[in-house]
Amino acid sequence: MAVHLANNVASYDAPQDATALKRVFKTITAGSCPKYFNFHMHTVCSDGKLTPEQLMEQAVQIGLRGLAITDHHSIQGFHRAQQWLDCWQQSNRTQSTPQLWTGVEINADLLNDRVHILGYAFAGNHSAIQPYLQQEAATGPAYQAAQVISAIHQAGGIAVLAHPARYRRSHNDLIPAAAALGIDGVETYYAYSNPRPWRPSPKQTQEVWSLGNRYSLLHTCGTDTHGPNLLERL
């Protein structure tokens, strides 16, 4: 479906309803992704292969209810996707419209290991989040996980530790450390071995889920799509 985007790009940087997204996260199960919700996807605005418009076309075809584009250190893809979605909705008023949330994936240091922190439902124009939206990782004190989490919160958003079982340090160490810094959630449902079709890895899912519950964290899910198909990672 072709959608003609408006010449004047609207601003989508206003604060979002993080409370509503937290309610969604509380409903997430192993069966939520990739057919109903997907909160970890990349576009050509960072290191993905899909344009934001192509991603949204697939999201509508799949029937996603809620999603977030989490390009690395950028929300350009979100802006383009939201404009596409607004145009699509005008032409398809009788169909349900998926909820698109602001999202970003940020590099950070946690326990001397480079981790990725996902930010959701933040105000993209807030000064605290701006250092992390410059298409490259921050340096110095801003690179520390505590600072990243704080910046996401200051911008009204939700901070989530991405794929906790993919790092050099064990998730048994990283999740408690992130919780101590005030992180809101963990990406519990993740496919670590890139299976086809996509499905959460059972062992890691159970371990991350248990740790998340122990520290009263939210559980999220995402395909971490970098390729041409939202139902796969690569």
DSSP reduced 3-state for 38 = strand
On average, the pLDDT of the chain sits at 94
Taking residue 14's Cβ as centre, other Cβ atoms within 10 Å add up to: 10
Contact, 141 vs 132, CB < 8 A?
no
- Whose tokens are 């439902």? That residue is 121
Give every CB contact of residue 221 below 8 A, 6+ residues apart in sequence: 28, 30, 32, 33, 37, 38, 39, 40, 187, 188, 189, 190, 200
Read off the pLDDT of residues 101-156 as tens digits, 9 standing for 90 and up.
999 999 999 999 999 999 999 999 999 999 999 999 999 999 999 999 999 999 99
Name the class of domain 18-221: alpha beta
Whether pLDDT at 9 is above 50: no
Contact, 160 vs 189, CB < 8 A?
no
Q: pLDDT band at residue 34, thresholds of 50, 70 and 90? A: very high
Taking residue 17's Cβ as centre, other Cβ atoms within 10 Å add up to: 12
- The residue among 31 and 2 whose pLDDT is bigger is 31
Sign of CA dihedral 107, 16, 233, 72: negative
For position 11, what pLDDT does the model report? 57
Contact, 115 vs 161, CB < 8 A?
yes
- Please state the domain extents for the chain: 18-221
Q: pLDDT band at residue 80, thresholds of 50, 70 and 90? A: very high
